[in-house]
């Protein structure tokens, strides 16, 4: 009940679902709203029928001064049909009813602007306006009601979610039980504690573990529990004793029609009464005018009947008038009382006039209905409790997966996994490193597996997987199985449904496929190709062609550029070439590209990087010796790596005998991850590696390698906010 | 309970079931489960409000026992179970 019809006293149950006390313990009385529904019932406004034993009568309908059906709603299951009407806000209903009265041509669309939607006594938020529109127009529609929650920060810095409003008809204690069950089932493993602190107001507290995203938990509650509930509206009611599904306009018209009936009948009743009284008063007036004669006649009469008959005969009075005159008391013959009768008669005639005009004028009748409706509603109207939000749509994976940083690794044998970034410890340069991945024992005999790709990403990002043959598969990061640092992961071939001869060459992580960004692709033979990233937006599960690869060549790197970047290509022999990307025109997706670097025989491109003046180029050899050089000399502002045009041989980037393992464009505060073929990994700060301005130099030891070990590659680690927070606090 | 004076006719059970069921369903629709479009009340709700009004249990009077209301409704208006009356009364009194 949005508007209580009965005032309770005692235990009438609660939203927790506990039952009310037995009727010998509880008390009640009608509420003010009920008086509005029952008002004027004794003025012949409605039909009465005998009760079941014909000892008394009962009304077939109440006069009902308020649009009660829509105010409080109704539910019922009959045979073959059900009704489910939500409660509405009285204020809106009154305005809508008045609109229908004022403008009979008002459409459902006009009413929609006034009636915003259901208004549940329990509050909540209705998600999406389509369902509301539908049921207002057709009488049938489904709306989704959500509870209301907010977050509070606790003293220890953790966050807690507080549920303050639940959807209509949701049992609070079973909701809490359900949440608890979801916590034990690991569906809600972000939750550290759950308490129901409700008194007369709902307050369910869900404490979160450190650094968990409350939004994700709330979305999970919407998805998995009754915290979001659907309400299937069916506006079915009895119209002239026949069930009928109606839209909002028809229902309000029923009400207006009913009121018209009630007010007309009441006016007729009052008119009849007034006329009766007027008739009697007319008799009094005659009697008072001829008082002495009347007294004489009465005194002369032997009994009451004789007096009556004589009076009727002499003055042409009706029997009722004569009886009333005989019933007069003596004091009523005083002068003052005579004036009173005169005044009452005048008043009565005015009333009769008024009542007749109501009956004869439709306009007056409707104005009266409107006035009475507003008067009756005035005491009960209040602000809406339920809010309506326009936002529509089912929850997508993005809503229930936290957008958090993670490290995605792909091994040489093609195992992929993602690991929360916090699991990687920060170590000093020169350490031995923590185990990056447990490698396949079966494969370790001759051709051991090793980590081939590693990068950080957010779980909501897209990853474009570029195969060595130029195919591209796109997948969301959260689709990759989360695993701890030491586990091996899932087969990438299974995740992406790869073809047999395909091997992963490069991955690009983007949050969206917006215009103005380009993918720069580079093959081992020195070919380079540039394509707008938006061309990759319509990806398919089976992959799309990213670049056309010539026979014997393979894709080695793909980078994201903004259209005004410079790129550097570094070959295995330590050569490098730097050119502006405008040298490479943007092409379609299914193209080969142009020559980027001319290589010596046996040499191949090892890496391609985008030049960032704020960054330095880190080149590390297979022996773990590396160097860091600025792209442009900090003093002379001259480029250390000279700008050339594409297609040249390039210049020496590092003097190395064993060959380059990898190259990276890094910032001073960056950290890099170095990986060996044996699966050892080390994470080190870039600032720990000395920066040298010379181009043709050997560099310093970046990682100490065991015998037989070789550095496989390097990768940048992006620090997440979470990690920085942890780093700021002293470790306990 | 057969007696000689009883008048028996044969009828097809499917016909009987059909008419009986339609009668039953109409009775449920009209006099139990669905509200009237005009006052939005089901018969039992209307009976409770009317009985309480006749008892003088209006909003500016002191509270009185629910048992009395239930009894009155059962006695004069609603020849059904007491729980259906009391449950309805409770529902009319609850917000939420």
- Which positions in chain A touch B53 (Cβ < 8 Å)? 30, 34, 38, 41
Name the phi and psi angles at A148, rounded to 5: -115, 135
- pLDDT value at position A294? 87
| CB half-sphere exposure, A313, CA atoms < 13 A | 7
- Contact (CB<8Å) B96/A168: yes
- Describe chain A by its helix, strand, coil percentages, rounded to 5: 30, 30, 40
- Residue B15 above 70 pLDDT? yes
Residue B2 domain flag: no
Q: Are A424 and A669 in contact (CB under 8 A)?
A: no
Among partner residues B37, B41, B70, which is closest to A239 by beta-carbon distance? B37
Q: At what angle do helices A90-102 and A362-378 cross, to 10 degrees?
A: 170
> What does the block give as tokens for A549?
């690869």
CA distance B49 to chain A (A): 7
Residue B24 domain flag: yes
- In sequence order, which ranges of A57-164 are alpha helices (DSSP H)? 68-72, 90-102, 108-114, 130-138
Chain B interface disruption, residue of A9, A11, A13, A30, most B CBs within 10 A:
A30
CA distance A254 to chain B (A): 6
- Contact (CB<8Å) B37/A12: no
CA distance B4 to chain A (A): 31
Chain B interface disruption, residue of A26, A47, A85, A124, most B CBs within 10 A:
A26
Residue B70 domain flag: yes
Size of interface A-B (CB pairs under 8 A): 190
Using alpha carbons only, how large is chain B's radius of gyration in Å? 19
How far separated are the first and last CA of chain B, in Å rounded?
51
- Which positions in chain B touch A16 (Cβ < 8 Å)? none
* Three-class secondary structure of residue A596 per DSSP: coil
- Which positions in chain A touch B96 (Cβ < 8 Å)? 1, 15, 120-122, 168
Residue of chain B nearest A261, judged by CA positions = B38
Q: Are B59 and A30 in contact (CB under 8 A)?
A: yes
Enumerate residues 6+ apart whose C-beta is below 8 A from A486.
A435, A437, A438
- Contact (CB<8Å) B53/A23: no
CA–CA separation, A135 vs A232, rounded Å?
9
CA–CA separation, A63 vs A44, rounded Å?
10
* Three-class secondary structure of residue A165 per DSSP: strand
CA distance A539 to chain B (A): 49
| CB half-sphere exposure, A299, CA atoms < 13 A | 6
Residue of chain A nearest B84, judged by CA positions = A23
- pLDDT value at position A383? 92
pLDDT along chain A (732 residues), means of 10: 92 90 95 93 94 93 94 90 94 94 91 92 89 92 92 84 92 93 89 90 90 83 91 93 92 94 95 93 88 88 89 88 88 82 92 94 93 92 88 63 78 78 56 47 42 75 87 85 76 79 81 83 89 85 85 86 86 87 86 87 85 83 83 71 80 80 81 76 78 73 79 66 41 36
- pLDDT value at position A440? 41
- Contact (CB<8Å) B37/A15: no
CA distance B12 to chain A (A): 23
The active-site residue out of A3, A23, A25, A315 is: A25
How far separated are the first and last CA of chain A, in Å rounded?
55
* CB atoms inside a 10 Å sphere around CB A518: 22
Let me know the angle formed at the C-alpha of A285 by A279 and A287, rounded to the nearest 5 degrees.
110
User: Can A331 be counted among the known catalytic residues?
Assistant: no
In 3D, which of A259, A274, A474 has the Cα closest to residue A372? A259
- pLDDT value at position A251? 94
- Contact (CB<8Å) A29/B63: yes
Residue B77 domain flag: yes
Residue B63 domain flag: yes
- Which positions in chain B touch A241 (Cβ < 8 Å)? 30
Residue of chain A nearest B74, judged by CA positions = A52
Using alpha carbons only, how large is chain A's radius of gyration in Å? 44
Neighbour-count burial for A540-552, b at 16+ CB within 10 Å, e otherwise: eeebbebbbbeee
- Contact (CB<8Å) A59/B50: yes
In 3D, which of A194, A168, A190 has the Cα closest to residue A179? A194
Q: Are A118 and A132 in contact (CB under 8 A)?
A: yes
Q: Are A223 and A237 in contact (CB under 8 A)?
A: no
Residue B8 domain flag: no
CA–CA separation, A623 vs A187, rounded Å?
46
- Contact (CB<8Å) A69/B39: yes
- Contact (CB<8Å) A55/B76: yes
Chain B interface disruption, residue of A62, A66, A254, A382, most B CBs within 10 A:
A62
* CB atoms inside a 10 Å sphere around CB A651: 16
Q: Give residue B39's domain range.
A: 13-95
Among partner residues B57, B58, B96, which is closest to A122 by beta-carbon distance? B96
- Which positions in chain A touch B47 (Cβ < 8 Å)? 58
Among partner residues B24, B50, B94, which is closest to A1 by beta-carbon distance? B94
Cα A673 off chain centre by: 39
- Which positions in chain B touch A62 (Cβ < 8 Å)? 39, 41, 46, 49-50
Among partner residues B50, B52, B96, which is closest to A58 by beta-carbon distance? B50
Chain B interface disruption, residue of A8, A13, A14, A28, most B CBs within 10 A:
A28
CA distance B15 to chain A (A): 19
Residue of chain A nearest B87, judged by CA positions = A20
State the complex-level ipTM: 0.88
Query: How many domains does chain B fold into?
Result: 1
- Which positions in chain A touch B93 (Cβ < 8 Å)? 1, 4-8, 12, 28
Among partner residues A1, A2, A30, which is closest to B49 by beta-carbon distance? A30
Q: Are B12 and A220 in contact (CB under 8 A)?
A: no
- pLDDT value at position A429? 47
Chain B interface disruption, residue of A9, A32, A78, most B CBs within 10 A:
A78
């Amino acid at each position: 009940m949005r508007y209580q019809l009965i005032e309770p006293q005692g235990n009438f149950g609660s939203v927790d679902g506990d039952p009310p006390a037995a009727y010998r313990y509880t008390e009640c009385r009608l509420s003010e709203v009920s008086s509005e529904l029952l008002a004027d019932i004794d003025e012949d406004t409605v039909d009465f029928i005998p009760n079941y034993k014909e000892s008394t009568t009962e009304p077939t309908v109440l006069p009902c001064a308020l649009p009660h059906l829509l105010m409080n709603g109704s539910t019922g299951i009959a045979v073959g049909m059900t009704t489910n009407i939500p409660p509405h806000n009285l204020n809106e209903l009154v305005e809508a009813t008045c609109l229908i009265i004022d403008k009979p041509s008002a459409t459902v669309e006009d009413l929609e602007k006034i009636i915003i939607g259901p208004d549940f006594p329990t509050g909540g938020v209705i998600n999406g306006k389509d369902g509301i529109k539908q049921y207002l127009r057709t009488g049938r529609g489904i709306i989704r009601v959500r509870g209301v929650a907010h977050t509070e920060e606790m003293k220890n810095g953790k966050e807690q979610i507080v549920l303050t409003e639940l959807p209509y008809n949701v049992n609070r204690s079973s909701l809490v039980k359900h949440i608890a069950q979801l916590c034990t089932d690991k569906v809600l493993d972000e939750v550290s504690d759950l308490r129901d602190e409700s008194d007369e107001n709902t307050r369910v507290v869900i404490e979160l573990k450190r650094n968990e995203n409350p939004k994700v938990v709330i979305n999970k509650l919407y998805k998995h529990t009754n915290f979001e509930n659907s309400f299937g509206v069916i506006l079915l009611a009895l119209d002239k004793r026949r069930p009928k599904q109606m839209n909002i306009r028809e229902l309000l018209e029923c009400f207006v029609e009913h009121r018209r009936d009630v007010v007309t009948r009441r006016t007729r009743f009052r008119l009849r009464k007034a006329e009766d009284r007027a008739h009697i008063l007319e008799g009094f007036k005659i009697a008072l005018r001829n008082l002495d004669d009347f007294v004489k006649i009465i005194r002369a009469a032997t009994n009451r009947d004789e007096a009556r008959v004589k009076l009727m005969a002499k003055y042409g009075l009706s029997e009722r008038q004569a009886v009333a005159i005989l019933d007069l008391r003596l004091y009523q013959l005083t002068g003052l009382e005579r004036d009173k009768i005169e005044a009452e008669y005048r008043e009565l005639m005015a009333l009769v006039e008024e009542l007749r005009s109501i009956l004869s004028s439709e306009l007056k009748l409707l104005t009266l209905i409107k006035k009475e409706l507003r008067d009756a509603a005035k005491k009960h109207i209040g602000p809406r409790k339920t809010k309506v939000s326009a936002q529509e749509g089912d929850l997508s994976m993005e809503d229930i997966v936290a957008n958090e940083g993670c490290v995605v690794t792909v091994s040489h044998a093609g195992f992929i996994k993602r690991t929360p970034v916090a699991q990687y410890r920060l170590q000093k340069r020169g350490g031995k490193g923590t185990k990056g991945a447990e490698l396949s024992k079966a494969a370790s005999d001759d051709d051991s597996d090793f980590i081939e790709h590693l990068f950080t990403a957010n779980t909501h990002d897209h990853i474009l997987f570029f195969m060595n043959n130029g195919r591209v598969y796109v997948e969301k990061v959260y689709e990759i199985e989360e695993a701890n640092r030491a586990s091996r992961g899932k087969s990438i071939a299974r995740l992406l449904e790869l073809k047999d001869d395909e091997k992963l060459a490069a991955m690009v992580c983007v949050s969206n496929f917006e215009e103005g960004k380009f993918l720069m692709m580079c093959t081992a033979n020195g070919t380079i190709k540039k394509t707008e990233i938006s061309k990759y937006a319509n990806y398919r599960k089976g992959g799309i062609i990213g670049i056309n690869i010539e026979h014997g060549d393979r894709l080695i790197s793909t980078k994201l550029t903004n259209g005004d970047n410079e790129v550097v290509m570094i070959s295995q022999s330590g050569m490098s070439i730097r050119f502006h990307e405008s040298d490479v025109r943007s092409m379609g997706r299914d193209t080969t590209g142009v020559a980027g670097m001319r290589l010596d025989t046996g040499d191949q491109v090892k890496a391609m990087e985008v030049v960032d003046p704020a960054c330095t180029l880190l080149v590390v050899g297979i022996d773990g010796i590396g160097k860091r050089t600025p792209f442009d000399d900090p003093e002379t502002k001259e480029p250390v790596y000279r700008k050339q045009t594409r297609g040249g041989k390039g210049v020496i980037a590092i003097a190395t005998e064993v060959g380059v393992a990898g190259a990276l464009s890094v910032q001073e505060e960056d950290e890099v991850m170095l990986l060996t073929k044996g699966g050892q990994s080390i994470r080190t700060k870039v600032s720990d590696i000395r920066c040298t301005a010379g181009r043709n130099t050997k560099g310093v030891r970046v990682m100490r390698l065991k015998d037989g070990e070789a550095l496989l590659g390097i990768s940048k680690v992006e620090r997440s906010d979470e990690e920085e927070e942890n780093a700021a606090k002293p470790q306990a | 309970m057969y007696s000689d004076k009883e008048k028996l006719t044969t009828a097809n059970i499917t016909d009987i079931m059909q008419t009986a069921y339609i009668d039953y369903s109409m009775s449920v629709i009209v006099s139990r489960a669905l509200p009237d479009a005009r006052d939005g009340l089901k018969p039992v709700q209307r009976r409770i409000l009317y009985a309480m009004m006749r008892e003088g249990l209006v909003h500016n009077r002191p509270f009185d026992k629910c048992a009395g209301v239930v009894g009155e409704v059962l006695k004069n208006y609603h020849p059904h179970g007491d729980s259906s009356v009391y449950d309805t009364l409770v529902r009319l009194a609850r917000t939420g």
